[in-house]
Structure 1
Amino acid sequence: MATPNLKRRLSPMDAFFLYLEREEEPMNVGFVAQFEGKISPKQFRSHIESRLHLIPRYLQRVVPAPLNVGLPTWEFDPGFDIGNHIHYIKCDPPGDDDALRRTSERLFRGTLDRGKPLWEIYVIHGMKGNRTGMVTKIHHCMVDGIAGVALMYVIFDAWPKPEKVKKQKYNPAPIPNQAQLLYDALWDNAIDALDHWARFQKGLADYARGFTSSQTLDAVKEFAASMRDFLSPAKRMPFNKAFSGERKFAFADFSFAEARAIRAACGGTLNDVALTVLSGACQRYALMHGEKLRKRYLRVLVPVNIRTEDERGAMGNRISFLPVEIPLEVKDHIERLRIINETTQELKQSRVSEAVGLMFNALQGAPAPLQALALGSAARPTVQQALGMVWQVPPMHLICTNVPGPQIPLYSVGKRLLNYYGLLPIALEMGISCGITSYDQRLFISFIADGNAAPDVDKLMDFMRECFIELRAAAEVKERHVVELAHAIRAQEAEMARGNGHDNGNGAVKRRVRKPKADTPKAIAVAPADTAASVN
């Protein structure tokens, strides 16, 4: 794995997540996971500490510019102590899956200390079945979903025996004084303004270049229609309420092979299949709460990765959004899937996500002090009141993100990763976020909800299970058992290695593979790009 490409100053999008944060709306991402076996606290701490130089952002903290004259910067923390970031705690009794969920709800609420690097890992012992739990908590200003998955390749290994990485000395330079920070901010403002305008012009030209004259007109019309839907009010769903700050989680997993078979049988993409199941669940959840669904639509905000090839491995946020509108009165799963596929195809063909990205890019060209003032916590009530004059209700109901992961088992300090549920922030009265992560031939679905907005989010997950089974039956897809892909791959490798390997006495073949040097990033490049699940 290549060393991440780091920039010292936060991008406007990264800073947006800092400015948007409140105690009731922490802007953190992460995951809840379980491992087979018991993880040693000392061994895990040593494991992470030896690899931190490969993810140097995790050694840095956010330093605001004086008087907010510029965007904040990342500075290496001179007082960094890994003990502030890796914690070993006991699971709530009785130590089963529900207890881990309750423990993770408690750990994930609240904001991170901005005086330190913005991440925490909780290793959770005391679980039944010889298992170890884990909860990570990372500020959204550090990573988006794609960058977050890339970090898995630093924490985890593809083989039970972890690669040894030599720990490097940490000798950070002092944080610049206020005068230097002020000078740097003013200088960067001038440079960034020119760079921002150049990038915006290039993006606009690239967007227009992809269409003929008639296609450009159609694309503009489609974008205008999407923005009209985005800006127009939508009737609240039961979970669009004010936040309490309490967190409620619900988890489930489904067969990746079955989801792909549904896609093959019905057409569309895996995202379309996921949105079909999600909209069906929201439909039943609304009916359970006494809502009438005639002429009602579910508006889902779908993040889209807009990283270019030369930005692969870059930290921070490189995302745009697709606003997808789904009719809630359509009960037939296959028909709803067809409608969703048509909608998303129109949005993609009109390159709406690129246009939305350009719009965000233009807004982010505002001076840094204005961004901080408009979105800072002190100004939030005034800004929300102003937005309320335009949006009497949230324009979107919820966010759903689909992040591909490796389809082979991963390990940390020799313990196999059994499951992996993504955690997302919630904000602006969108009281539920839906995270979809593929790993080891399974789709792991998580709902992250505010305790006041959706205290019964577990019911919504029950409806997800029902709708997936019904969609599978309607598509005439048979239930499929999970294929141990990694075991098949490794058996094939062993068979191929018989020509240059030797039997160890019990029928197994010892591979003669030259390992890379342990202190290089390649030593822990655990999964090539082609092992990631497609989201198409």
Structure 2
Amino acid sequence: MTIDDKNHDLVEANRRAWSMASQWGADHRMNELETLMWRSERHPRGSSTICTLMLLDSVPEWDRLRAAHDWATKMIHRLRERVLEPLVPVGPPAWTVDPSFDLDYHLRRTQLPAPARMPELLAFAQSAAMAPFDRTRPLWEGTLIEGLPGGKAAYLLKLHHSLTDGVGSVQMLSLIQSRTSEHTPKDPLPEPVPSPDDPDAQSLAVDELNETIRRIPSAARGLLSAGARALLRPGAAADEALRLAASARRTIAPPPVAGSPLFRIRTGKSWRFGVFECELKDLKAAAKAASGSLNDAYVAVLLGGLRHYHEMFGYSLDEIPMAMPLSLRKADDPMGGNKFAGAMFAAPIGVVDPAERIAIIRGTVLSLRVEPALGSMEFAAPVVNRLPSALGAAAMRLGSAADISASNVPGIPYPVYMAGARIERAYPFGPLPGVAIMAAMVSHAGTCCFGLNCDGTAVPDVALLVQCMKEGLEEVLALGRGDEGSDTATED
């Protein structure tokens, strides 16, 4: 393939991505899941902030970086929109153009005092992550961090979860990144998506109420049809109800296992970040050796690390309550938004053999994916969202019954640059919704980047936890040492 062919393929790939990105934000209302995260937020314990910390091999060109952000905010209209709540909560909030949008408020630049190594960088990131968003502005912030050793830099992207999930944040970042360090001219921006006149809180409430009234006939027909089926086949209806109730107990209700005594006291008032990493091919080889997926091996790493951590304090646990978001995205879904469901289960922390641990996790996750109640929050959220927000906050705290939550997001598989600087690592940090540890992994350009967000009260020594996680990682990677170079394990 010639250089011209490669450039042509790159341009076409960028155009396809930009075409998909232009559809992000076409829906002018939050969905019910996003509404629940927005209204139930109680900062910092119930924060919905997600972050990505990228390490750069050099300081990017500021003018190019700013221009890329300006272009991206015009391509993704949501990045220039704020949230408008109806006067009364009769429906979801709307996204409306922020008339006072200021790119220089959202894109920032800071210099860390020397010596600014990873501990100092993480301290800055966790402090920035804990600062609440201005809820009257678009819900994102980007910060270029300079002053790292060797002329390197970092970039921190901070998003509100109601804006998008982990997959959406990777998609968003791809728009301000390039496969080359040289300047790549952007395609002309598409025509703005037509939007209704920006409503005020009162007119939005009226519109939502009218829409609800319009839906009443079809909802009534659905209830009558369901009622008729139940009358005609009462046994089948009862069996279906029992099946859904049992499924809800297995997926949504806290698992019947006691939490860790080490993590019993949590305040959520102090976030502490930790990171570690490994080669993607090595983790895939380990997963393949144990007949599991990449996600199974990742969870096995976390549980092995937690076992080592508890042993340091003289505790031996068989199981631990764990939460995991499961993506509901389809290949043809538009960019952005939130498409996931949460599930809780008893995780096998006491299983010493990493291959056996991966096998147990494999069976558990596969069974969770076919549970009928997996997406039940989709039906509960509309009801909760129309009640006082304190009840929504209480519903979101159900996840705090878990000691750890783990998320795995496929990242960009090839080298990328940001305004001339190569992105060497991309560490993800999820919110801390009452759990002791929120773990996340992003696979970036051949490296698995692990990010831990810990409740500082429950985990006072994050460095010790990271060291234990590295021990858990090493015992899992040892499975694949006889299968070097394997790259066939599935993502999930």
Q: Please give the per-residue CA displacement for 1:232-268, whole angstroms capped at 9, x wherever unaligned.
A: 4633352343325222100011011111111221101
How do 1:332-371 residues align onto structure 2 when only pairs under 5 Å count? 332-348=353-369, 351-352=370-371, 355-357=373-375, 359-366=376-383, 368-370=385-387
Aligned to 2:452, the other structure's residue is in SS state strand
- Residue 343 of structure 1 aligns to a residue whose secondary structure is helix
Question: Does the CA contact (< 8 Å) of 2:272 and 2:453 recur in 1?
Answer: yes
Find the aligned partners of 1:438 and 1:199 in 2 and give their Cα distance.
44
The Cα offsets for residues 15-59 of structure 1, whole Å up to 9 and x where unpaired, read as: 111122222232111201111111233331122102212111101
What TM-score results when the alignment is normalised by the length of structure 2?
A: 0.83
Q: Residues 249-307 of structure 1, C-alpha deviation per residue, up to 9 Å, x if partnerless?
A: 000110111111112211011111111111111112222233342xx312221111112
Moved over 4 A (4+): 166-174, 191-202, 215-222, 478-481
SS state at 2:88 partner: helix
Partner of 1:305: 327
Equivalent position amino acid for 2:405 in 1: I
More deviation, 185-194/462-471: 185-194
Q: Is the 8 A contact 1:78 1:175 kept in 2?
A: no
Match of 2:91, SS?
coil
Q: 1:222-233 to 2 correspondence within 5 Å? A: 223=247, 226-227=250-251, 230=254, 232=256
Q: CA deviation at 1:191?
A: 4.9
Q: Give distance in 2, aligned partners of 1:367 and 1:88.
A: 40
Tell me, yes or no, if the aligned pair for 2:145 and 2:153 is still in contact at 8 Å: yes
Q: Is the 8 A contact 2:257 2:320 kept in 1?
A: no
Tell me what 2:491 maps to.
535
1:50-69 matches, within 5 Å, as 50-69=71-90
- 1:138-177 matches, cutoff 5 A: 138-165=159-186, 166=188, 175-177=198-200
Counterparts of residues 85-484 of structure 1 (less than 5 Å): 85-165=106-186, 166=188, 175-191=198-214, 223=247, 226-227=250-251, 230=254, 232=256, 234-293=258-317, 296-313=318-335, 315-348=336-369, 351-352=370-371, 355-357=373-375, 359-366=376-383, 368-370=385-387, 372=389, 374-375=391-392, 394-428=400-434, 430-477=435-482
Task: Answer yes or no: is the 8 Å Cα contact 2:62–2:419 preserved in 1.
Answer: no
Matched to 2:51, the amino acid is G
CA distance in 2, matches of 1:198, 1:227: 30
**Structure 2 residue matching 1:469: 3-state secondary structure:** helix
What amino acid is aligned across from residue 382 of structure 2 in structure 1? G
- Distance between the aligned counterparts of 1:188 and 1:458, measured in 2? 52
Which one-letter code corresponds to 1:434 in the other structure?
A
Sequence identity, in percent? 21
1:337–1:182 Cα change, 3 Å: closer
Runs (5+) with no aligned partner, structure 2:
1-16, 226-236
Indicate how the Cα distance of structure 1 residues 308 and 159 shifts in structure 2: closer, same or farther if over 3 A, else same.
same
**Gaps in structure 1 of 5+ consecutive residues:** 203-212, 484-531
Question: Could you say what secondary structure the match of 1:186 adopts?
Answer: helix
Q: TM-score, with normalisation over the residues of structure 1?
A: 0.77
CA shift in 2, pair 1:194/1:11, >3 Å = farther
Q: Structure 1 residues 267 and 407 mapped into 2: Cα distance closer, same or farther (>3 Å)?
A: same
Q: Following the alignment from structure 1 to structure 2, what is the Cα–Cα distance between the partners of residues 29 and 164? A: 30
CA distance in 1, matches of 2:124, 2:224: 48
Residue 64 (structure 2) aligns with: 43
| Amino acid paired to 1:355 | A
CA–CA distance in structure 2, aligned partners of residues 301 and 47 of structure 1: 36
List per-residue Cα deviations over 1:166-199 (Å, max 9, x = no partner).
5789999874234322222212333567788999
In structure 1, distance between residues paired with 2:380 and 2:342: 15
**SS of aligned partner of 1:68:** coil
Of residues 102, 119, 122, the one that matches 1:81 is 102
Q: 1:406 to 1:394 in 2, by over 3 A?
A: closer
Contact 2:256 2:346 in 1 (8 A): no
In structure 2, do the counterparts of structure 1 residues 192 and 11 end up closer, same or farther at CA, with 3 Å as the change threshold?
A: farther
Give the distance between the partners of 1:279 and 1:67, measured in 2 at CA: 44
Aligned to 1:34: 55
Are 2:40 and 1:20 aligned? yes
Q: Judge conservation of contact 2:270–2:456 (CA < 8 Å) in 1.
A: yes
Instruction: Give per-residue Cα distances to partners, 1:184-230, cap 9 Å, x unaligned.
Output: 2212333567788999999xxxxxxxxxx9x9999769725614863
| In structure 1, C-alpha distance between the alignment counterparts of 2:52 and 2:481, rounded to whole Å | 33
1:262–1:477 Cα contact (<8 Å) kept? no
Contact 1:236 1:394 in 2 (8 A): no
Amino acid at match of 1:223: S
Q: Distance in 1 between matches of 2:483 and 2:254?
A: 38
Q: How many residues are paired up?
A: 458
For the structure 1 residues 79 and 229, does the alpha-carbon distance in structure 2 shift closer, same or farther, using more than 3 Å as the test? closer
Deviations 1:147-171 (A, max 9, x none): 1111122121122223223578999
Change (3 A) 1:195 1:65: farther
User: Shift of residue 343 of structure 1?
Assistant: 2.2
Distance 1:291 1:18, change over 3 A: same
- 1:80-119 deviations in Å (ceiling 9; x for gaps): 1101101101124312222211111111112100111011
CA displacement at 1:365 relative to structure 2: 3.1
Please say if residues 93 and 99 of structure 1, whose CA atoms lie closer than 8 Å, have aligned partners that are also in contact.
Answer: no
Rounded Cα–Cα distance in structure 2 between residues aligned with 1:95 and 1:286: 31
CA RMSD of aligned residues (A): 3.4
